[in-house]
Chains A and B, each alone.
Chain A
Amino acid sequence: DTGVSQDPRHKITKRGQNVTFRCDPISEHNRLYWYRQTLGQGPEFLTYFQNEAQLEKSRLLSDRFSAERPKGSFSTLEIQRTEQGDSAMYLCASSPGEGTSYEQYFGPGTRLTVT
C-alpha cells in the first residue's frame, strides 16, 4: 500500500493559464474525492467519484474546473483560466467501497499559487 499520491506537489502559474493536477488513489479504493483547502480553513469538498462516475460536484466547482477519472483509477483536476482566488492546496482522498472502513485517506496535496 503506497498511499494516495498527487502530482505535482507545487505549481506556480500566471493568471489566465490552465493547470492540471493528478491524483493516484490507493489501488483497491473505488471512491475518490477532491478537496480545496485555503489558509486557515479546513478542506472544502469539491467533487466525488465512484469508479469512473462523477456522482457529486460542489457549487464551489465553477465551470472553469473539471475533474475526470476515465478508467476508475487515477483522476485529474483541471482549472482553466486560473484566477488568483484559485490559489490553495488541492487535496485528493480515496476510500474503499460501501460496507467497509469509512475513513478517507488523503494524499499530500498540490499547492497552487496563481500570480
Chain B
Amino acid sequence: AQSVTQLGSHVSVSEGALVLLRCNYSSSVPPYLFWYVQYPNQGLQLLLKYTTGATLVKGINGFEAEFKKSETSFHLTKPSAHMSDAAEYFCAVSPSGGYQKVTFGTGTKLQVIP
C-alpha cells in the first residue's frame, strides 16, 4: 500500500521568496516519487522524479526536491518564486519497478504575491 500526504492545501509566497512545498509518503516497497504541476483546466506536467541514485533531484523551471528515506519525505523547493509558478502542485508515489500505479496527494495550491 502507498499513500502521500501534502501538508498545506494552500501556500502563499512573495515573488522572489523561497518556495517550499511539503510531501510525505508511505510505501511498503522502495518508492518512485514524482512532483507534477497543474495549471487551471489543464492536465498534469511532470516537474521532476526520483527513481534511484542521487537523492537531490533537479527538475524543470528551477525546482528541485530531495528524497529523504529516514524522514519519508520528498519536499519540493525553488529558491526564488516567479509569478508564473502560481499553480497546483501534486506529489505522487509509485512502487519501484514493474507496473507503476501512481498514487497522488491532494495537492497544494501555490499563490505568488507580487
Tell whether A50 pairs with B99 under 8 Å between CB atoms, given A42-B104, A42-B106, A91-B43. Answer: yes
Partner of A106, one of B44, B98, B100: B44
Q: Report the Cα distance A95→B100, complex, angstroms.
A: 9
Is B42 in contact with A109, judged by CB distance below 8 angstroms? yes
> A residues 88-115 with Cβ under 8 Å of B?
91, 93, 95, 98, 102-109, 111
Residues of B within 8 A of A4 (CB): 43
A109: B residues at CB distance < 8 A: 41-43
A28: interface (CB < 8 Å): no
Chain A positions 47-71 with a Cβ under 8 Å from a chain B Cβ = 48, 50, 55-56
> Interface size (B, Cβ < 8 Å)?
27
CB closest chain-B residue, reference A10: B41
B25 at the interface (CB under 8 A from A): no
- Chain A interface size, as a band, is 20 to 34
How many angstroms between the C-alpha atoms of A91 and B41 in the bound complex?
A: 11
Residues of chain A at the chain B interface (Cβ within 8 Å)? 4, 31, 33, 40-45, 48, 50, 55-56, 91, 93, 95, 98, 102-109, 111
Name which residue of chain A comes closest to B102, CB basis: A104
Selected A-B contacts with CB under 8 Å, 16 pairs = A33-B102, A41-B106, A42-B92, A45-B102, A50-B99, A56-B101, A93-B43, A95-B100, A98-B97, A98-B99, A102-B94, A104-B46, A104-B100, A106-B36, A108-B42, A109-B41
Residues of B within 8 A of A93 (CB): 43-44
From known contacts A41-B107, A103-B46, infer whether A111 and B90 are also in contact, taking CB-CB under 8 Å: no
**Nearest chain A CB to B41 CB, angstrom units:** 7
A-B pairs, top 9 by smallest CB distance, nearest first, are: A42-B104, A106-B43, A106-B44, A108-B43, A103-B46, A43-B104, A42-B90, A42-B106, A107-B43
